[in-house]
Amino acid sequence: MQRPRHAAVLVPLVAMLAIPASAHAGPPHEHPAGDGVAEGGVAEGGAELRELPWQHSGVDVEALAAVATDGLLIDFDDDLSDEAIEAIERETGLDLEDTTKFADGNLWVLRGTPADIERAVHALKARRDIEGVEPNAVYSLFDQDLEAPVDGEPTKPAPTAPNDPMYKSQWHMKMVNAEDAWSRTRGEGVIVAVLDTGVSPGKLHGGKDSRFKRVPDLKDTEFVDGWNFVNDNADPSDGHAHGTHVAGTIAQTTNNAYGVVGLAHKAKIMPVKVLSDGGSGSVASIANGIRWAADHKAKVINMSLGGGMYSSTLAKAVKYAHDKGVTVVCAAGNGGRQKVEYPAAYDGAVAISALGPDGKLAFYSSYGKELDLAAPGGDTRVDLNKDGIPDGVLQDTIAVGDPTSHGFFPFQGTSMATPHAAAAAALVIATGVTDPDRVEKILESTARDLKDPIRYGAGALDAGAATKKGTRDHAVGGLGLAAVLAGLAVVRARKKDGLFTAARMSPGLAGALVLGSGAWMGFVPGLGIQAGVVTLLAGGAVVGMLALGFGIKALRLPLAGLAFGVAGFLLCRAALGSVDVALVPGHGWLDLAWLTVNGAVAALVGRIALAR
């Protein structure tokens, strides 16, 4: 779901900065505050008490022992040291297990009998240094995802564009308008984290072989280092098939005259194993995987997994990633009913329902008011295109039950719909739009409206329209603003002293203005993902150029053009809220302030150059 954007007003900035970074996301408004939940209050002397962690779990305190079958998950304050937690262990007599050795956060698990859990509840429930306590619930793959007939020898039609021979059977790529998107970008350089059953990279960091081989149609796909949070090691290999299939939809090797295609096939895959080879994983593993991916430069997280239980720990992890500039895309679930599962229903997640090959809601897809988009998830009961292959989502993955072999298998599910949206997000990011709220807004505003937001959210995903809007908004908006600012300044300068004529100023001013506006960036593959860095450098460029060239009369017009171009570049991105500026903490208000102030400075530099 899209988080509300703040209006473009700078006055509340100071107040926003006063909010602690660790402020923690509570449950959805409809979540019961219910039975056994401690109430906030006022301490002696009138001081307001901090809410107890039990208020965020939505679980009856007395019932925790019964439902925490995989342990009790305790989320200590992030600033609490290991030594302090060890002191708590000694004080309470509890034996806690640290789950965050390889990820940011402070999540600990208590495992034991119901009596042990009950004792822990009473020992910890009055503490103010705990942010959340809840069952270490198990999330899993959704039913239906793997219920697909396997065609071991699919037909191989004549090559099309691209030249992958089975592309013609990927009706789902045509449904999202893939070829139009590829005319602008292939997702160059964008890191997409696949939080799933794993993806076998073939080679690990240091050259060691992974547990299983990489499937052939991921051969030329670029991987970055991942992690295994199920076994706490660096090998995220997939022994199931689900994670590899999801990764293929995102970035299957394409134009290699073999197999099938991926939607963002120049993106980089970060395999993060949070589900076992059996398809299930704990809240602790998933939350740690989200934080780890966000801390290791992922720009998109795909989670084709879920469950029905609200988790404050998982909600905080999604918020953590979103606040670090990551677009988090999640499957709505395969319940076939009006209930969006978690984590898709959390604030900050983009929730995806599934379309069948007929463009209508798939029979298995969950839906509800939290939905953001619909994308193709397949229906293996039919073969509408008459190619001899069931109309699931067709990708290269390992054989179910035999990770040493592979095949091109049609799977179905919201798990298959979600990576289409994650890949489309990567394509939009590659156009230079890096703020997750703006990425989501572009995907939603360009979706084909299916007139039923409960079932389809904003509508059916259209990657072609999304990339077009991402590219056009920056190019036209930046250049247009730059031209307006330059025009106003030129008119003012000419009225003041008649120093310049239109003929003299046009070539140098116009050329530098186009350069500074960044209108050309969309034509440079791989530059879009560096938008945050480019924006930061652009802000300093005009000051540097002013220092170097201000005293040289012949450079004043080009300097003015460059300054107005950069002003348009920065102010356009401020107005759109589209860039997460490098080195500026978080995203949102601080980015807006930085872009607005530096855009105004650049415009002032342009005016000064013309005035002299």
Report the catalytic residues.
196, 242, 415
95 closest CA partner among 116, 126, 68: 116
379 closest CA partner among 399, 366, 367, 393: 393
Task: For residue 38, count CB atoms less than 10 angstroms from its CB and return exposed for 0-12, middle for 13-18, buried for 19 or more.
Answer: middle
Secondary structure of 470-507 as H, E, C letters: HHHHHHHHHHHHHHHHHHHHHHHHHHHHCCCCHHHHHH
Residue 392 contacts residue 379 (beta carbons within 8 Å): yes
CA-CA distance, 350 to 338, in Å (whole number)?
17
Residue 501 contacts residue 610 (beta carbons within 8 Å): no
Q: Where are the alpha helices (DSSP H) in 107-157?
A: 114-124
The amino acid present at 119, given as its one-letter code, is R
CA-CA distance, 531 to 192, in Å (whole number)?
17
> How would you classify the pairing of strands 300-303 and 327-331?
parallel
Residue 582 contacts residue 508 (beta carbons within 8 Å): no
500 Cα distance to chain centroid: 49
Angstrom CA distances, 307 to 162, 327, 336, 347, stand at 37, 20, 14, 16
Angstrom CA distances, 247 to 259, 302, 357, 363, stand at 15, 9, 21, 24
The pair phi, psi for residue 372, each rounded to 5°, is -110, -40
CA-CA distance, 579 to 521, in Å (whole number)?
14
Radius of gyration of the chain (CA): 26
**Residue for token pair 């990633």:** 321
Cβ-Cβ contacts under 8 Å for 77 (sequence gap 6 or more):
22, 106, 129, 130, 131
Structure tokens at 599: 């855009």
CA pseudo-torsion sign 515, 519, 524, 529: positive
CA-CA distance, 331 to 341, in Å (whole number)?
8
CA-CA distance, 360 to 190, in Å (whole number)?
30
Diameter of the chain by CA atoms?
Answer: 88
CA-CA distance, 466 to 460, in Å (whole number)?
11
120 closest CA partner among 100, 136, 101: 136
Which residues are registered as beta bridge partners of 351? 330
